[in-house]
Amino acid sequence: MPATETVVDAPRRLPWRTAEVREVIAETSRVRSLVLDVPGWPGHRAGQHVDVRLTADDGYQAQRSYSIASAPEAAHVMLTVEQIEEGEVSPYLAMDVLPGDKFELRGPIGGYFVWTAKLDGPLFLVAGGSGVVPLMAMLRDRVRAPNPGPALLLYSSRTGDDIIYRDELDRLAARGDGLTVVHTLTRGHPPGWTGGTRRVDREMLAALGFPVAASPRIYICGPTPLVETAAAALHDLGHAADRIKTERFGPTGGPP
């Protein structure tokens, strides 16, 4: 799941591994990316996630799931975590963790919401808030494709300051390899803003998205209301259900 707190059961055969924090990157005031050394890491596919487990001095344990933000070929595993109010795990990971700290994780988990550079067709990504995390792994993976197809990311954030990976997304879009990044802000926008100024809706998806005839592969990730709205609208516009893959997080994440 994205960088929010949603519990997902993992197959029992997956071992818990000790991850050591190599670097902490501030993405926004509430979001941090953790670059991890994970000995024995078996590799992953873009869109998969891990379970993270923290153990207190008194033995109490808390466990949550987080999407993997790094591309499969990256030298280190990256998780991007948003601080969730009243959370047990995210406040530590997003605000307190330091290089050299260690915690347990297991994964990779998930086989449905995944993408590889070998898949054909245009790539249409719709993200809300920290739902951009697994989609960013896909865009990072796309860079290594010798002849990548066209791709579009429609990304909804509260404000400009809440856009995760903003500078990197700008760089990826400037590569000229067929990627378009479109932002929409739902809770205010800075002077001179030329992007969207409302929530993702049917009209926006129809105006910006690929035509049905192009048969894009569609991945939607974010708060449940956004995911349900976007998936229903795209299906209503004629996109086949088997080309639309969704992943969502619950009310603790809040709407973007």
Instruction: Answer yes or no: is pLDDT of 11 > 80.
Output: no
Position 189 scores a pLDDT of 84
Q: Are 95 and 17 contacting, i.e. CB atoms less than 8 angstroms apart?
A: no
Does 254 score more than 60 pLDDT? no
Distance between alpha carbon 238 and the CA centroid of its chain, in Å? 25
Give the mean model confidence (pLDDT) for residues 89-100: 95
Average pLDDT over the chain, rounded to whole?
Answer: 91
For residues 117-130, give the mean pLDDT: 94
Q: Are 224 and 218 in contact (CB under 8 A)?
A: no
Which of 5-14, 74-83, 129-138, 198-207 is predicted least confidently? 5-14
Question: Hey, what CATH class is 17-109 in?
Answer: mainly beta
Q: Return d(Cα 151, Cα 125) in angstroms, integer.
A: 8
| Torsional sign, CA 184, 150, 243, 107 | negative
- Lowest average pLDDT, out of 11-15, 18-22, 58-62, goes to 11-15
3-state secondary structure of 104: strand
pLDDT at 7 exceeding the cut of 70: no
* Contact status, residue 100 vs residue 21, Cβ threshold 8 Å: yes
What is the share, in percent, of the chain residues with pLDDT greater than 70?
93
Distance (Å, rounded) from C-alpha 5 to C-alpha 88? 9
**Gap between the Cα atoms of 179 and 59, Å rounded:** 47
9 has pLDDT over 50:
no
Give bridge partners of residue 157 from the DSSP assignment: 185
pLDDT (average), residues 142-154: 92
Structure token digits, residue 125: 């990504």
CA dist 105 to 68, 108, 134, 189, 206, Å?
11, 9, 17, 37, 40
Q: What was the pLDDT predicted at 248?
A: 87
For residue 165 the two structure tokens come to 């990976």
The amino acid at residue 88 is E
Mean pLDDT across 237-251? 88
Quote the tokens at residue 234: 């795209």
Count of C-beta atoms within a 10 Å radius of residue 217: 19
pLDDT for residue 249: 75
Encode pLDDT of 108-121 as tens digits: 999 999 999 889 88
- Closest-CA residue to 46 (of 122, 115, 126): 115
Higher local confidence (pLDDT), 189 or 64: 64
Task: Say what the pLDDT of residue 217 is.
Answer: 97
Question: Span 70-84, mean pLDDT?
Answer: 96
SS3 2: coil
pLDDT of res. 192: 87
Per-residue pLDDT tens digits for 156-209: 999 999 999 999 999 999 999 999 999 999 998 888 898 899 999 999 999 998
Backbone angles phi, psi at 58, to 5 degrees: -90, 5
- How far apart (Å, rounded) are the C-alpha atoms in residues 88 and 91? 7
Where are the domains positioned within the chain? 17-109, 123-249
Cα atoms in the 13 Å half-sphere on the side-chain side of 205: 26
**Residues in the chain, how many?**
256
pLDDT higher than threshold 50 for residue 56: yes
* 18-57 b/e (C-beta count within 10 Å ≥ 16 → b): ebebbebeebbebbbbbbbebeebeebbbbbbbbbebeee
| Average pLDDT score over residue span 58-77 | 95
Check for a shared fold between 17-109 and 123-249.
Answer: no
Compute the distance between CA of residue 231 and CA of residue 241 in angstroms, rounded to an integer. Answer: 9
For residue 250, what pLDDT band results from cuts at 50, 70 and 90?
Answer: low
What would the CATH number be for the domain defined by 123-249? 3.40.50.80
